[in-house]
Amino acid sequence: MQYRNLLVEIKDTTAIVTFNRPAVLNAMNTETVTELGEAIAALGENSQVRVIILTGTGKAFIAGADIAEMSIKTPAQARAYSELGHRVMNTIQNLKKPVIAAVNGYALGGGIEVALSCDICIASELAKFGLPETILGVIPGWGATQRAARLIGTAQTKELVFTGELIDARKACEIGLINRVVPHEQLMDAVMMLAQKIGEQSPLALSMAKKIIHEGLDKSLLEGCRMETEVFSSLFDSQDQKEGMKAFLEKRKPQFSGR
C-alpha cells in the first residue's frame, strides 16, 4: 500500500501505520485523514494482519489537524471535515482488530482524538498530550469531547479543553488517558511485544470482546451482562473456541483461524 502521508509496514501479523508529515509535526490535512481511513479499512480486510499499531515520524505522533488547511474553511467545509474525521475515528473504533497507539511525541488536538479511537495507548516518556482547540477559537471536532469524557470523566476532560494546556505522559497515565508510559527508546519494542501477545489470542474472541466493551458503554449494566452472555455462548459455535480449549488440554499453542 502506497500513501503520500503514511508509511505502512507489515511485520509478521502486526501492521505499523506511521504518520509521515514531519515538516508539520504530522499535522493531519484532509488527505492524511482520508488515507488513514483507507489504510485502516484495507488492513482490516488483510487476513495476515491481527493487530495494527499507529505511530508518528520524528518528534510528534500527530500535532493535530492541519491548522493552515483548516484556517480558511467555511462552516460547511468545517462540517464535512468534522464528519470525515468522525467516520475515520469510528472505522478505527469499530474495526474487528485491536489498534494500538504508540505515542512517540506530541499528541495534540486531532492527535489525541486518533489515540482515543484506538483500543490501547502506550506513550514514550517524551510524549505530550493536549487539546489546544479553544485557543484557536474552535472545539475538538473528531470526538474528544465525547470519547475523553467517557474515558477520563468530565472534570479532567473539561480541564484539558478549557485550558488547552499540554500534559506529559505520566500525567496522562495518572488521569487514565493512556495505558502505560515507557522509556522513549523502548517504545516500539514494548508496543511490538504487546501486539505480538495480543496477536496470539483468538481473533474472533478479540473482535467480539472489543465490540461488546464499546456497545456496553451505551447500555445498562444488566443489558450489558445479557449481551455478554449472548456473545459468550455464541462463541461455543466457533472453531476458535474448539481449537483454544483443545490446545490447552493438549498442552500446545493454539492455531486460530478467526472463525
Alpha helices in the chain (DSSP H): 30-45, 67-70, 75-94, 110-117, 144-152, 154-163, 169-174, 187-199, 203-216, 221-234, 239-249
Site string for ligand DAK, 39-78 (x = CB under 6 A): ------------------------xxxxxx---------x
Q: In this chain, which of 5, 82, 124, 157 binds ligand DAK, going by CB under 6 A?
A: 82
- Under the binding rule (CB under 6 A), the answer on residue 81 touching ligand DAK is yes
Strand, coil or helix: 86? helix
Strand partners, 79: none
- Under the binding rule (CB under 6 A), the answer on residue 89 touching ligand DAK is no
**How many residues lie near ligand DAK (CB under 6 A)?**
24
* Complex with ligand DAK: residue 84 or 247, whichever CB lies closer: 84
Are 126 and 184 spatial neighbours (Cβ–Cβ below 8 Å)? yes
- Under the binding rule (CB under 6 A), the answer on residue 118 touching ligand DAK is no
- Under the binding rule (CB under 6 A), the answer on residue 143 touching ligand DAK is no
Question: Could you tell me the smallest distance in angstroms from the CB atom of residue 179 to ligand DAK?
Answer: 22
Restricted to residues 184-203, the positions that interact with ligand DAK (CB under 6 A) are: none
- Identify the DSSP state of 136: G
Residue 235 has phi, psi (to 5 degrees) of: -65, -15
Task: Name the residues annotated as catalytic.
Answer: 113, 133
Virtual CA dihedral for 153, 158, 164, 166, nearest 10 degrees? -30
Contacting positions for ligand DAK (CB under 6 A):
24-25, 27, 63-68, 78, 81-82, 85, 106, 108-110, 132-133, 136, 138, 140-142
